[in-house]
Structure 1
Amino acid sequence: MSKAPHHILLITCPDRPGIIATVTALLFRHNLNIVVMKEFVDPETNTFFARAEITGELKASSLVKELQKEFDHYSTLIQLKPVSNKNIVLFATKEFHCLSDLIIRHHFKALHANIKAVISNYDTLEAFTSKFDIPFHYISHENKSKEIFEQELIATAQQYKPDYLILAKFMRILSPDFVQQFENKIINIHHSFLPAFVGANPYKQAYERGVKIIGATAHIVNNMLDEGPIITQKIIPVNHEYSVKQMVEAGHEVEKSVLAEALRLVLEDRVFVSNNKTIIFT
C-alpha cells in the first residue's frame, strides 16, 4: 500500500523535451518517492502542467530552488505544498443551502478545510452559523459606497489569512479591485450551466426559455461576470411540468454538490488556471 503523500509538487512551465526525466531524477536525488504524478501539455500555449504527490523527508526551500534553476524561465511557477487543511472564509447573503452544506461537512470533518469565518451582508444566517462556533461577521452594504463596503469585507477576511474565499451564494458583484486582492482565490457557485443564463434570476430565464436541463457551475472569479475559469459543472433533467419554484428547489441540490466537488479539487491542489480555462488532475 502506498504511503500517504506528505507534499504536493505543482509545476507550470514552457514545454520542452525531458521535463519529466529532469523532475524525477531530482526527486530521486533528494531521496523522495513519487506516489502519484500526472502531467498535461496545453498545445495552444505550449505550457507544461504537472502535479506530483511525494513522500519522504525534504528541505522544501532547497528542492524548490533546485527546480527553479532547472526550469529557469520567467513564466515558470513551482510550488511545494504540505498536505494539510487549508483556511477558507465563506461569503453569503440570505440563501442557506450552500452555506449549511459546507458547515455541516466541516462539522463532521468531511470538508478537509478550516472554515475560519462567515461574512455576510445580512444577519439572516448568523443564528445557524453560531451553532457551530464559527465567527460570523455581518457587514451591511446599505448606505455605503461599494468601495467602502468592499474595503470592510477585505479587512475582515484578511484577519483570517484565508487560502480561499468561497462565495456560497454571495449575491454581490465584486469589483476588479476586490478580485485583484485575492487573484484566483475566489470560488463562486452560479446557479446555471454556464455560459447559459449569466447574471441574476437564471432559473426564471431557464423557465421562460423552456429548457430541458438545468445545472450549476463552480468557477474561479475574475473581472467578467460569471465568466471565470470553470472548475465543475453538473446538470439534471427538467420538463414542462416544472414551475420556477420547482426548478429552484431542484437546482439547490445541484448547487451544493457542484460547490462541494469544486472545493475538494481546489483544496487538494488539483486545479491549474490557464488563461480562462482550468486544467484539473483528478
Structure 2
Amino acid sequence: MTDITKHILLMDGPDNKGLIYHVTNVLYRHDLNIIHNDEYVSPGGRFFMRTEFEGTFNTDALLADLKTQLPEGITLRLNPKKKKNIVVLVTKEHHCLGDLLIRYAFDELDADVLAVISNYNVLQPLVSKFGIPFHYVSHEGKTREQHEEAILRTLAIYEPEYLVLAKYMRVLTPGFVNHFPNRIVNIHHSFLPAFVGANPYRQAYERGVKIIGATAHFVNNDLDEGPIIAQNVKDVNHRHSAADMAAEGKDVEKIVLSQALKLVFNDRVFISGNRAVVL
C-alpha cells in the first residue's frame, strides 16, 4: 500500500543510544522529508518521540525497516495527519458544546463532529443549527448498563475514533470505558486532583480557594483520575460565591477542553501509566 500525504510517527519505549539517528536515517533512506520532530526522556528512562513527515512511501516496508533498526521494547504507531472522527456526549449545559460546534463550523477543531448524543433533549435546538445529527438517548427507566448499551448502539452507526464528554454529567461504567480505551476525553470543572466528583465549585467555595480551574483528561475506571491532558486556572477571592465561581469557571472549561482536543487530535499525547506525556 502506497501513501502520499503527511504522516505522524509516534514512538515510545526504553531509552537507548541512537534512537533518533535510527529513525531519521530510515526516513531519509525512504526519501521522506521530516517536517517536525519532538522527543522527551522521562526521569525513569522512557523515551518518547513524535515525528511529522511527508512523502510517498510503502507503509509495510517503512514499518518493517524501522523495526529492524530499533531495539526490543519500542512501540511504533504511524498515523496519517488528518482530522479525527468524533462523537460528543452532553447533558444540559451548553457552553462547552457551543464552543466546540463553533470551532467545528469554522474549521478550527481538527476533527469532524459526526453526531451529538445526550440523555436530555435540551440541547437539540443548538445542535440542529449546525446541521449535525442529534440523538436523544434517555436514561429514564433504564439501569446504567441498559442506558450505555443504547448509547453504544448509536455509536456503532458512526464508529468514532474519539468520544468527547462536553459536560456529560453521568459516570461511565468500566464496561463502557473498555470499548474506548484512552479514547474518551472529559472536561472536569476543577483543578484536579482537588475536588473530584460532584459540585466541585461548592467544594472550592467551602475551602476558600484563591484559584479555580478546569482539567481535561482521559477517562478510565477511576472517577476523575484518568491521565491529565491540559489544565488552566482563574483567580477568585472571598467575594466570589459558589455560583460566581461556577460562572467564571465556564470560560476556563471550554478553553481547556479545546486545548486538550487540539493536542489529542494532532497525536501529541502519549499515555504512560496514569500520566499523559504531551509533545
TM-score range for the pair, normalised by the shorter chain length: over 0.9
Equivalent-residue separation in structure 1 for 2:184 and 2:147 (angstroms): 17
Range with bigger deviation, 53-62 or 28-37: 53-62
Displacement of 1:16 after TM fit? 1.3
8 Å contact kept, 1:113–1:267: yes
2:45 aligned with 1:22: no
- Who is 1:56 aligned against? 55
Find the residue that maps to 1:155 and give its secondary structure.
helix
Equivalent-residue separation in structure 2 for 1:209 and 1:34 (angstroms): 50
- Who is 2:109 aligned against? 111
- Who is 2:212 aligned against? 214
**What CA RMSD, in Å, does the superposition of the two structures yield over aligned residues?**
1.2
Displacement of 1:72 after TM fit? 5.6
Runs of 4+ in 1 over 2 A off after TM superposition: 68-73
Residue ranges of structure 1 left out of the alignment (5+ in a row): none
Equivalent-residue separation in structure 2 for 1:23 and 1:36 (angstroms): 13
Tell me the alpha carbon deviations over residues 98-151 of structure 1, each in whole angstroms, 9 at most, x when there is no partner. Answer: 001000110111112100000110000011101111001111111111111111
2:256 aligned with 1:258: yes
Tell me the alpha carbon deviations over residues 217-240 of structure 1, each in whole angstroms, 9 at most, x when there is no partner. Answer: 000111111011000000010011
Amino-acid identity (%): 53
Tell me the alpha carbon deviations over residues 180-231 of structure 1, each in whole angstroms, 9 at most, x when there is no partner. Answer: 1100000000000001100000001111111110000000111111011000
8 Å contact kept, 2:39–2:47: yes
TM-score normalised according to structure 1 size: 0.95
- Who is 2:273 aligned against? 275
- Who is 1:94 aligned against? 92
TM-score normalised according to structure 2 size: 0.96
Find the residue that maps to 2:138 and give its secondary structure.
coil
Structure 2 counterpart of 1:253, one-letter code: D
Equivalent-residue separation in structure 2 for 1:155 and 1:42 (angstroms): 40
Residue ranges of structure 2 left out of the alignment (5+ in a row): none
Equivalent-residue separation in structure 1 for 2:17 and 2:229 (angstroms): 29
Q: What is the aligned counterpart of 2:235 among 237, 258, 263? A: 237
